[in-house]
């Protein structure tokens, strides 16, 4: 993500922040999901909505790229109803032990974000399985 122009980074950051808001995550949970440093104040999130890209940090980039994958997968899964993505993220799912995907993002760290992305995007799950053609 950080090999992009600053303008593109800002646009992608705004996209992520907009979706986190649509999914109903509180500021404290957004900080956790983005894997921002512990000393980050929740009011810093406002700058990410406006004109500041996410910090150049490997842990933040890991989460940001996967969040963008989740956002894109929800868009393609529900192309005619954008509100369904937020509903899906909030609804308990049997494959997640009846927990909503948002709960996995907040509580399970990188494993949770990978699990949610793999559920939505079969190509990502295929890559994780080690089944790539060699």
Flag whether pLDDT at 127 surpasses 70.
no
Q: Whole-angstrom Cα distance, residue 80 to residue 88?
A: 14
Mean pLDDT of 30-46: 93
Domain residue limits, the chain: 6-128
What count of other Cβ atoms lies within 10 Å of the Cβ of residue 106?
A: 18
Dihedral over alpha carbons 76, 82, 86, 91 (to 10 degrees):
-70
pLDDT digits (tens, 9 = 90+) for 99-116: 999 999 999 999 999 999
For the whole prediction, is pTM greater than 0.85?
yes
pLDDT digits (tens, 9 = 90+) for 70-92: 999 999 999 999 899 999 999 99
């Amino acid at each position: 993500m950080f090999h992009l122009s600053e303008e593109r980074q800002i646009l992608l950051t705004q996209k992520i922040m907009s979706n986190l808001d649509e999914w109903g995550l509180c500021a404290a949970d957004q900080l956790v999901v983005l894997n921002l440093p512990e000393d980050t104040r929740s009011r810093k999130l406002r700058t990410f909505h406006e004109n500041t890209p996410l910090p150049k940090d490997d842990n933040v980039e890991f989460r940001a790229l996967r969040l963008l994958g989740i956002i894109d997968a929800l868009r393609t899964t529900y192309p005619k109803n954008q509100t369904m993505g937020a509903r899906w993220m909030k609804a308990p799912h049997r494959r997640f032990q009846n927990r909503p995907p948002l709960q996995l993002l907040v509580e399970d760290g990188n494993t949770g974000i990978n699990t949610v992305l793999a559920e939505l995007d079969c190509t990502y799950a295929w890559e994780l399985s080690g089944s790539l053609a060699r």
